[in-house]
Amino acid sequence: MNNNNRLYILFSDYTVGYLGNACDCEMCKERGQVEVNILNLDSSYRGVISYDNDAGSLFESHDILTVKNSINELFSWVKVFVIDKQNNEIQFIQEVNKLLNDKIVKGDSNATNL
């Protein structure tokens, strides 16, 4: 699989890998399930994703945050959904702290009640 056809994966530990080839071993064929190899960016083996025909879903999908067609798409997703989200949360906490501090400085006995 060349780089242009790769599907890149961002895992819940914020490491990046990509989907490799589907396994075509006899055990997979007998089970009637497809397993796809997951590789690290250096092409070393990381594990497999199995499709559960009965449930109609991926096993271990909770370990995957997103799958994208390119590294650039992956990093754009990280910026919007991880970094920007964290920055917004930090900004919100800073604003709440400022409101609390302003109330405390003014001697408001109910400073913890916004």
Torsion, Cα 12 18 24 25, to 10 degrees, reads -50
Give backbone dihedrals phi and psi of 5, rounded to 5 degrees, phi first.
Answer: -105, 5
CB 28 within 8 A of CB 34: yes
pLDDT in tens, 2-43: 566 888 888 888 888 898 888 878 888 887 777 888 898 899
Q: Can you read off the two tokens belonging to residue 51?
A: 């499709």
Q: Can you read off the two tokens belonging to residue 98?
A: 């400022």
Q: Give this prediction's pTM.
A: 0.59
Residue 41 per-residue DSSP state: T
Distance, C-alpha 113 to centroid of its chain: 36
